[in-house]
Structure 1
Amino acid sequence: MYAIEVENARKEYGAVTALDGLSLRVERGETVGLLGTNGAGKTTLFELLVGLRSPDAGSVAVLDRDPTDGVATRRRVGYLPEHAGFPDELTGREVLRFHARMRGVDAERRDHRVARVLETVGLTDAADRRVEGYSNGMARRLGLGTVLVADPAVLLLDEPTAGLDPYGVEAFHDVLGAVASAADVTVVFSSHVLGEVEALCDRAAVVHGGRVVTDGDVDALRRQTEENVTVRATMGSDGDADSAAERLRSRDGVERATEDGAELVVECTPTRAFAVLEAIRESGDVERFTVREPGLESAFRTAVADRGERA
């Protein structure tokens, strides 16, 4: 059973089509990143997944149920919108207690659950400070805490690191990575930062024009791009970088092969990278090598360009 299953969802706001036949399936326990520019439809998708809106056409199921059916499913889904605010006069602990009560956490275990979540998001020392004194990073981790407090099966995070400095982003990543790896939880989050999707996700889906235009394993998406892989190898004493470069130039998929002393530099298509590494190994001892693969930025631009538009 899929944790999330969206089939041909369509949603219009007057003359604006936010979703135009979007389909997406997410298996239980996966961490999936949604990539897309502003207006691509990511936030509308989240609103459908938590039952805030219904599709005009198509179907949406979370944990095998319609999200609008009632509170039972929604209590198992944690949603953190991009702009989540809290009353300045409350402490972090009070915010989490309120959300625990609203999400139906039993009174006898509520304080224990709040304490555990405070530890998870790294706010134990600041638990009794008023929220008005929190940094942006602390506030975003508190927001994550509000969706973790009911022990959800599905986490939906809309631009969770937007506006954070590098230290805040790193801290949030650490928490999210720990949550995703320690529990059988399904995570879907949207981001403009392709690097964080590469670092945290099993899969990535590019949303453009209200549709998922490409979707797959992060490594597989990188290999689909037109960008070359660059292999740099430093040959050992019995290796011959010059002759290796000459042989590699005639191989299919090799765009360029040059040598500079003992260093061999080869640019090739992603599908030929393994064959190139094998050929280098057969040319003699290799002291060290590096492989620079295409990033998700290339996959994103390729996916959008394939639809005849510019990213």
Structure 2
Amino acid sequence: MNAIQTTDLTKRYGDVVALDGVSLSVEAGTTFGLLGTNGAGKSTLFRMLVGHLTPDSGNVTVGGRDVTDAGHELREAVGYVPEDAGFPPALTGREVLDYQARIRGVPRAERADRVAAALGTVGLDDAADRRVGGYSNGMNRRLALASALLARPTLLLLDEPTAGLDPLGVAEFHRILERLREEADLTVVITTHVLAEVEALCDDVAVLHQGNLRFSGAVDDLREMGESGDLEPAFRSLIADAEGREPRATPEVQR
């Protein structure tokens, strides 16, 4: 069963084509990577998956339901972690999650327990009553993940979840995701421009470039397309083919 299915998805901003006829599927229970440089269309696709944007043409289904008709059911099924959650710095972590639980419709009788469980899942128990303004970047990312888990979603969307984190913060975030995969019936989709993140976490991957889908399949299949069996030359080759040039290093994509 597919957790996500897009068919001929197109979105324009004026003369700029953000997505151009993108069709892809994400199998339920897998971790799926959306790989591409800045402006590839990754964030636009995410905003459509959570119903924040309407496609100009084509359709998107999540769990077999068209996102334009899903409404409240979509909000419960999908946990979305934006690149910058922008939590109020004067609130504590616990207060942030309590507020998020309210707007996500978590029953009052369950709210405190859900908040405590989410804080424990992301390792913020000891910092729960500290103001968010004093949190590190890594702690803020984990708080955003905790917020997304409050409604007990079946699909988790992470937009550049480790961008700007130091190596220890990246490793901790990866450990949390791996534990979630083991303990919950969860489909995870990650946008990233970090190849090592795709290799470490993802079963399948799609490569977007300038709004076009250049590849979708198993990470191992993409790796085999490279000259040395690595993701980097395979990714460079896909982008070069799209632009009609020789492969070269792509600064925005990291090893």
Match of 1:306 in 2: 241
Deviation at 1:131, TM superposition (A): 0.4
Spell out, residue by residue over 1:214-264, the C-alpha distance to the aligned partner (whole angstroms, 9 max, x if none): 111111211122x23xxxxxxxxxxxxxxxxxxxxxxxxxxxxxxxxxxxx
SS in 2 for 1:46: helix
Considering Cα pairs closer than 8 Å and 6+ residues apart, tell me whether 1 or 2 has the greater RCO: 2
Deviation at 1:299, TM superposition (A): 1.9
Distance in structure 2 (CA, Å) of the matches to 1:181 and 1:205: 23
SS in 1 for 2:33: strand
Match of 1:26 in 2: 26
TM-score by length of 2: 0.93
Match of 1:251 in 2: none
Rg comparison, structure with higher value:
1
> Unaligned regions of 5+ residues in structure 1, if any?
229-293
Distance in structure 2 (CA, Å) of the matches to 1:105 and 1:298: 46
Match of 2:96 in 1: 95
Q: Which has the higher helix share?
A: 2
TM-score by length of 1: 0.77
Aligned 8 A contact 1:3 1:64 in 2: yes
Using the aligned pairs only, state the percent identity: 59
> Unaligned regions of 5+ residues in structure 2, if any?
251-255
Distance in structure 2 (CA, Å) of the matches to 1:298 and 1:179: 31
Q: How does 1:170-249 map to 2 (within 5 A)?
A: 170-225=171-226, 227-228=227-228
Deviation at 1:297, TM superposition (A): 1.3
Structure 1: 4+ residue segments shifted above 3 A: none
Match of 2:153 in 1: 152
Aligned residues: 245
Q: How does 1:1-311 map to 2 (within 5 A)?
A: 1-69=1-69, 70-225=71-226, 227-228=227-228, 294-307=229-242, 308-309=244-245, 311=250
SS in 1 for 2:68: coil
- Root-mean-square deviation (Å): 1.2
Aligned 8 A contact 1:23 1:211 in 2: no
